[in-house]
Amino acid sequence: MTLTPATSTPQADAVIVGAGIAGLSCATRLADAGLRVVVLESSDVPGGRARSWPDPSTGIDVDIGPHVLLNKYPNMLALLERLGTADQVCWQTEELLTVLDKGRRLHFKVGGLPAPLHYVRNLPQVLRNVPLRHLLSNVRLGWRTMRSSPQELMTLDNRSGRDYLLSNGVSPGFIDWFWASASTAILNLPVEQCSAASLMRLLAQALGHNDLAFGFPKVGLSELYAWPAIGSLQRNGGEIRFGCAANGLHRCGADIAGVTLAGGTRVEASAVVLAVPPTAIDSVLPRQHALTATAARFEPSPYISCYLWFDCVLSGARFWARPWSPECLNTDFYDLSNIRDGATGPGSMIATNVIWSHRAAELPDQAIIDATLEEIADFVPEVRQARLVGAAVHHIPMSVPCARPGIETSRPAVRQEKGLFIAGDWVDTGLPFCMESATRAGALAAEQVLAERGITAHLALPTPVPGGLAKWLRRSDGVDGF
């Protein structure tokens, strides 16, 4: 692949800063529309917080951390369809999730009855671990959530998840058993620290769909979307330039005229899209810019991911989880040998995630590996007889921004001023911080860039609307989303 030298200064219609999901989502759509697009990426690989690379010791592709897709990700799935890689996702349709709890495997399934009654089929096994009174303590919460409009749910943003759950009568035991795990696994933040609005938006979707399914990439994330997107961009005349860090906006008078690079070179364009995480905004915008202050409110949620290779196949499971506990490290486990088509080596390749990883931040990598092996053995005892032939520990400073109280209503708009746009999972997309939010943000930014040129385009697909009984109970305010 031939890349433009970093010293060139092409004239472009739009320059995209950042080659992650949001940046590439935006760039490919603008290039498809006939615009001359230049993408600047500060690192030497694309993908941002959802990237992959060959592991140095095994040569096998590893992701920065294992990621999960949902079948309710219309924008992400549409992007994969356009790129021709939609068939590289392994969908788990037999069941939604297997949870190892108190030595028992709980197999959660969906489907059958209309939402939200589709969870009834799981009651017999759940009642072995959770008293009925704890389950029933959620009835008022579920009813209120199904009745609420998206805007009404957003009014809860100033409250913590745990405080709101308790105020609705949810038992502390159920909060510790279920809600603590749900908040950590999905919002990457403890339930007592997360926004009630973020948490209840998730509940509204869970109660409104009886056909949820998890999908796992069969290839590394960069192969799934990043390199195919770059290929599409280049076929349409666009450019990708690695090792190019933008360190400021270039203006002509008050108007946006492009960006400046670290060496002083300018890349001139009438539109600039900052597709970078909030932690990188202050490296491009001046301190006095309003967006810089907004971005500073978004705290990163760190995680640690382990990749372990064994000399034999350990199980037939693709994915399992365990309830969050302060005494344990990992929350989710993936046997990639059962997901990827023969590209993981002769034995099992297991990946795990330590979410909200502050408790493991000071541990040496070997201690993390040892603890992870013990936690895998709880589900797959055969691991004690297997030989570990390779291991890698990835320390990731930011998975997603922390969904703390007040942050949902602080999420900025895509269009900041004439010629300046932002894209990323943290902008106001109507979605939680996730790959789908980043993809949709890229599409929304592309719409706005085109609108300034007098071109009307509908590129962003709407967010899922709850169905089943929730469809009839829910008050509408014209705003949908998770």
The reported pLDDT for the residue numbered 5 is: 42
Count helices and strands (H / E) in the chain. Answer: 16, 20
Residues of the chain with pLDDT under 50: 1-10
pLDDT value, residue 475: 64
pLDDT of residue 347: 94
pTM of the model: 0.94
pLDDT in tens, 191-230: 999 999 999 999 999 999 999 999 999 999 999 999 999 9
Q: Which pLDDT score, from 0 to 100, does residue 7 have?
A: 44
pLDDT at 478 (0 to 100)? 53
- Binning the chain into helix, strand and coil, the percentages to the nearest 5 are 35, 25, 40
Cβ neighbours of residue 400 closer than 8 Å, sequence gap 6 or more: 49, 187, 188, 301, 425, 426, 433, 434
Please say whether the beta carbons of 214 and 319 come within 8 A: yes
pLDDT of 10 reads 46
pLDDT at residue number 303:
97
Give buried/exposed letters for 117-154 (b at 16+ CB in 10 A, else e): ebbeebeebbeeebeeebbebbeebbeebbebbbebbb
Q: Is 20 exposed, middle or buried (0-12, 13-18, 19+ CB in 10 A)?
A: buried
CA distance 425 to 362: 28
End-to-end Cα separation, the chain, in angstroms: 39
What's the pLDDT score for residue 481?
Answer: 53
**Residue in 360, 382, 381 with CA at minimum distance from that of residue 369:** 360
Are 280 and 442 a contacting pair, CB within 8 Å? Answer: no
For 277, the token pair is 């995480």
Q: What is the pLDDT of residues 78-93, one digit of tens each?
A: 999 999 999 999 999 8
